Amino acid sequence: MNNKNEKILYRVKSNRFLFVAQAVWNIIWFSIGTTLSIGLGTLLLSGILGFLCNDNKLNLPVIYVGIVLIPLTVTVRILHIILLRKNQFYTISTQSITSEGGVLIRFNHTLRRNQIQSVSYTQTLVQQLLGCGNIMVSTSATHRAALILHNVDQVTEIYKAISYNR
């Protein structure tokens, strides 16, 4: 906040249920892909090393490394997703709209109120049932949304607050 007259109207995150559902879906597919890629790579490397150094027997230490590496990689991915949720915020104030977050690489994208040309929101059927939606904020400098607030709760209230204060 740069201005003393600036007042924060909303500081929100994406809908928790949708975030968890998407995270579980992504983790399942990440786990399958990781297991296949590390598992097959481990077997291939173990077979090659066994052929070269171990009288045509699989090299067990390489297999053990692969067995440890799979859950370790999935755990790191889960921690990354949890930290993303913890650090992602949308701030709507009387002077600006800000999206901030990130884990290893932090970001802060701010649009001043005088830059906003149009505001719209969409809600899928699931979002309507959960009372959330996506808000798109456009500026005159962009031909598409300059900032999208994904899966925010109270979407109509926040939409009205942004439209009223611009």
pLDDT tens sequence across 106-138: 999 999 988 888 999 999 999 999 999 999 999
Coil vs helix vs strand at 100: strand
- 163: its two tokens: 């439209």
Q: Which tens digits make up the pLDDT trace of 91-109? A: 999 889 999 999 889 999 9
Q: Which tens digits make up the pLDDT trace of 60-86? A: 888 899 999 999 999 999 999 999 889
* 63 neighbors 43 (Cβ within 8 angstroms): yes
> Cα 23 to the chain's mean position, in Å?
9
Coil vs helix vs strand at 7: coil
What contacts 141, CB < 8 A, 6 or more positions away? 115
* 97 neighbors 90 (Cβ within 8 angstroms): yes
pTM here is 0.77
